[in-house]
Structure 1
Amino acid sequence: MLKRFFLLYSGADLQIINKCSNAEQNKYAGIGATVFFTALMAAIASSYALYTIFDNIFTSIFFGIIWGLLIFNLDRFIVSTIKKREKKSLEFLQVIPRLILAFIIAVVISKPLELKIFEKEINQVLLTEKNQMTLDNKNQIAQQFTPEIAKIQEEIDGLKTEIADKEKETNTLYETYIAEAEGRKGTKRIGKGPVYKEKREKHDASLAALTKLREINSEKIANKEAAIANLIEQQKQAEVTTQPIISNFDGLMARINALNKLPWLPSFFIFLLFLAIETAPIFTKLISAKGEYDYRMENHESEVTVWIKQQVDQREKVAETDIDLNSRVYEDLKTEEELYNYKQKLAQELIKLQGDTFLSNQKRLL
């Protein structure tokens, strides 16, 4: 039962292969098994590749089966169309396009399984890339907000400097009128004289201006610090909004690019493995000697070819004979007087009918 199942997959003619020896049937059953398992691996690889895209197991399995059936049909077609020739060079020439197709199929099949086999290493590469992308993203976002924040901070520093300068001026006036009172500077007279009062008034006026300046600038500073806080919040929000895009950067193309950054030798050997599996049925037929099935197939094709040629030749002969007979019959009819009189009578009736019809149309028009 299993052998018959694989014989069906080999693309061999069951009516012919059943007449062959058991060894010949086993050979083609092996070819069919190779075709079957290649299609099975293609379905598994495609399902995994599609799962990385759709993230839905049922959708991935469904389309993976469709892809496996497509690969099965292609492989079965490739194997079934390879015919044994008397010269090996002719066999190699006929399989060159099939080898190219097998190479393409091997690439398509092996790549998704490579992604699964090296999944941990790929995840590490993707993690490094995501971290770098996160830093780059923060820097790019910061470039949008940093100039405005720096500008506002510079304005705040200017307001604070203005207060500090006024405080320094007020403190200097304070020190001046205290030194005047103590007799250390100015008139160098101890006591609160007219000069002291004058300097004290300057200090008090400066202190009042400082107090007012503090109120005004403090309000401005508070507003500007609120503006900075708002910009920082917008910057954080922008980082939070864009982070999921970076976190989801693990699609099929990203994984393939990450795989290409890993050492190439392991991936190359896996590709060679699938290439060997995919081309195994082709090379099996190439390296195998011409067997019983091939001779029986040639005999069957020869019978069909001869039969078709006979049928075509027979139809051509019948057509030629029929044409020749028709020519002779019509030549003989030319001399028949009865046929001539009959055709003449029909022509006369036709001419009369045409004349009556013409006269009737003319009367109607007048």
Structure 2
Amino acid sequence: MFKNFFWMCSGADTDILKTCSKAEQIKYAGIGGTVFFTALMASIASSYALFTVFDNYFTAIFFGLIWGLLIFNLDRFIVSTIKKQNHKWRELWQATPRIILAVIIAVVISKPLEMKIFEKEINQVLLTKKNDLTLANKNQIATQFTPEIDKLQTEINGLKNEIDLKEETTNNLYETYIAEAEGRKGTKILGKGPVYKEKREKHDAALAELQQAKIENKEKISTKETQIASLVALQKKQEQITQPIIDGFDGLMARINALEELPWLPSFFIFLLFLAIETSPIFAKIISPQGEYDLKLQDIESSVKSWVFQKEEQRAMVLATDREVNQNIYNDLAEEDELYNYKKQKARELLQQQADAFYKSQKKMIS
């Protein structure tokens, strides 16, 4: 059962293989097994790669199977189209396009498995990148809101400084009229005289202005603080909206780029392993000597080719003979008087009818 399946995978003619030796049958079963397991590895690798894209098991497995079947069909085609000719360099030249295709397939197959093998290291690289992106995103968003917030904060500080200045002025006026009343400054006369009253009135006016300024500036400060709180909330909201995009920065291309930042030697050896697996059926067929199966297949193909050439030559000879016979027949007919007189009579009648028709049309035009 497995032997027939692997024969089918190798692209060989099972009817011919059944008539070959055991060694020949084992050789093509091995080639078919290599083709099958290469396609199986391709299916597993592509399923993982597609899972990083779609984040869905069923979708990844479905398209992974399709990709595996595609690789299986390509490998089977590559192996089955290499014909043994006992000329190694000619066979190698014949297989060169297929080897190039095998290298491309090996790259495609190995890359997802490399990402799975080095998944922890890739996650560490992605985490560092996400942190950098988060900081850069916050700084970028902050540049949109910081100038307005700083402007409002400067205006608040200005309003507070205005209050402090008025309060300092009022306190100085209070100290002035108290010192006048105590006789420590000014006129240095103890008691509440005219000068005291004048200074007291100045203090009271400044105190009233201070109270009014506190009420007005408090309302302004409250309004500006509300605006700042609104801008800060909007900034936080913008950060929350954009953060999921950064958190989702772990797709296929991001992982490939992260893989390239890791040491290249381990990835290179994994690639060489899959390249060896992918090209092994090709080189196995090129290196192996021309066997019983190849000779029998060559005999069948040469027999069919000879039969086709023979049929084409026969058709060409029949066509040439028929053409020569037809030429002789028409040459004989051209020499017969009866045929000549008949065609002469019909030509005369045709010319007479043309002359009559021309006469009638001219007569109509004149009349």
Q: TM-score range by the shorter chain?
A: over 0.9
The one-letter amino acid of 1:135's match is: L
The one-letter amino acid of 1:46's match is: S
Q: Distance in 2 between matches of 1:224 and 1:314?
A: 104
Alpha-carbon offset, residue 182 of structure 1: 1.9
Q: Distance in 1 between matches of 2:357 and 2:40?
A: 80
User: For residue 275 of structure 2, what is the aligned residue in structure 1?
Assistant: 275
Does the C-alpha gap of structure 1 residues 362 and 40 become closer, same or farther in structure 2, counting only changes over 3 Å? farther
User: For residue 331 of structure 1, what is the aligned residue in structure 2?
Assistant: 331
Provide, for residues 24-80 of structure 1, a one-character-per-residue CA deviation record: whole Å limited to 9, x for no partner: 111111111111111122122222222222223332222222222221121111111
User: For residue 137 of structure 1, what is the aligned residue in structure 2?
Assistant: 137
User: For residue 209 of structure 1, what is the aligned residue in structure 2?
Assistant: 209
Q: Distance in 2 between matches of 1:87 and 1:122?
A: 47
> 1:111 aligns to what SS in structure 2?
helix
User: For residue 100 of structure 2, what is the aligned residue in structure 1?
Assistant: 100
Does the C-alpha gap of structure 1 residues 13 and 348 become closer, same or farther in structure 2, counting only changes over 3 Å? farther
User: For residue 76 of structure 2, what is the aligned residue in structure 1?
Assistant: 76
Alpha-carbon offset, residue 342 of structure 1: 4.0
User: For residue 250 of structure 1, what is the aligned residue in structure 2?
Assistant: 250
Once structures 1 and 2 are overlaid, which stretch shifts more, 72-81 or 342-351?
342-351
Is the aligned partner of 1:220 residue 2:235?
no
Once structures 1 and 2 are overlaid, which stretch shifts more, 59-68 or 91-100?
59-68
User: For residue 322 of structure 1, what is the aligned residue in structure 2?
Assistant: 322
Alpha-carbon offset, residue 359 of structure 1: 6.4
> 1:30 aligns to what SS in structure 2?
helix
User: For residue 19 of structure 1, what is the aligned residue in structure 2?
Assistant: 19
> 1:166 aligns to what SS in structure 2?
helix
Please give the TM-score of this superposition, normalised by the length of structure 2: 0.93
Alpha-carbon offset, residue 13 of structure 1: 2.3
The one-letter amino acid of 1:114's match is: E
The one-letter amino acid of 2:294's match is: D
RMSD across aligned positions (CA): 2.0
User: For residue 197 of structure 2, what is the aligned residue in structure 1?
Assistant: 197
Q: Distance in 2 between matches of 1:67 and 1:344?
A: 77
Alpha-carbon offset, residue 349 of structure 1: 5.0
Alpha-carbon offset, residue 361 of structure 1: 6.3
User: For residue 181 of structure 2, what is the aligned residue in structure 1?
Assistant: 181
| Paired residue total | 366
Alpha-carbon offset, residue 89 of structure 1: 1.5
Q: Distance in 2 between matches of 1:333 and 1:236?
A: 105
Whether the 8 Å contact between 2:86 and 2:289 is mirrored in structure 1 is: no
Q: Which structure 2 segments of 5+ residues have no match?
A: none
Alpha-carbon offset, residue 350 of structure 1: 4.4
The one-letter amino acid of 1:11's match is: G
Alpha-carbon offset, residue 86 of structure 1: 2.6
Is the aligned partner of 1:238 residue 2:231?
no
Does the C-alpha gap of structure 1 residues 281 and 364 become closer, same or farther in structure 2, counting only changes over 3 Å? farther
Alpha-carbon offset, residue 353 of structure 1: 5.4
The one-letter amino acid of 1:237's match is: K
The one-letter amino acid of 2:116's match is: K
Q: Distance in 2 between matches of 1:103 and 1:280?
A: 11
Provide, for residues 138-158 of structure 1, a one-character-per-residue CA deviation record: whole Å limited to 9, x for no partner: 111111111111111111111
The one-letter amino acid of 1:104's match is: I
Q: Distance in 1 between matches of 2:284 and 2:360?
A: 87
The one-letter amino acid of 1:19's match is: T
The one-letter amino acid of 1:148's match is: E
> 1:191 aligns to what SS in structure 2?
coil
Alpha-carbon offset, residue 16 of structure 1: 2.4
Q: Distance in 1 between matches of 2:303 and 2:354?
A: 62
> 1:289 aligns to what SS in structure 2?
coil
User: For residue 291 of structure 1, what is the aligned residue in structure 2?
Assistant: 291
Alpha-carbon offset, residue 213 of structure 1: 1.0
> 1:192 aligns to what SS in structure 2?
coil
- Runs of 4+ deviating beyond 6 Å: 359-366
Whether the 8 Å contact between 2:180 and 2:187 is mirrored in structure 1 is: yes
User: For residue 115 of structure 1, what is the aligned residue in structure 2?
Assistant: 115
User: For residue 2 of structure 1, what is the aligned residue in structure 2?
Assistant: 2
Please give the TM-score of this superposition, normalised by the length of structure 1: 0.93
Provide, for residues 239-276 of structure 1, a one-character-per-residue CA deviation record: whole Å limited to 9, x for no partner: 11111111111111111111111222222222111111
Whether the 8 Å contact between 2:88 and 2:287 is mirrored in structure 1 is: no
User: For residue 124 of structure 2, what is the aligned residue in structure 1?
Assistant: 124
Alpha-carbon offset, residue 288 of structure 1: 0.9
Alpha-carbon offset, residue 119 of structure 1: 2.0
Does the C-alpha gap of structure 1 residues 267 and 164 become closer, same or farther in structure 2, counting only changes over 3 Å? same
Provide, for residues 97-139 of structure 1, a one-character-per-residue CA deviation record: whole Å limited to 9, x for no partner: 1111111011111111222222222222212211111111111
User: For residue 65 of structure 2, what is the aligned residue in structure 1?
Assistant: 65
Percent of aligned pairs with the same amino acid: 67
Once structures 1 and 2 are overlaid, which stretch shifts more, 329-338 or 161-170?
329-338
Alpha-carbon offset, residue 284 of structure 1: 0.7
Is the aligned partner of 1:313 residue 2:317?
no
User: For residue 37 of structure 1, what is the aligned residue in structure 2?
Assistant: 37
Once structures 1 and 2 are overlaid, which stretch shifts more, 335-344 or 279-288?
335-344
Once structures 1 and 2 are overlaid, which stretch shifts more, 307-316 or 163-172?
307-316
Does the C-alpha gap of structure 1 residues 354 and 4 become closer, same or farther in structure 2, counting only changes over 3 Å? farther
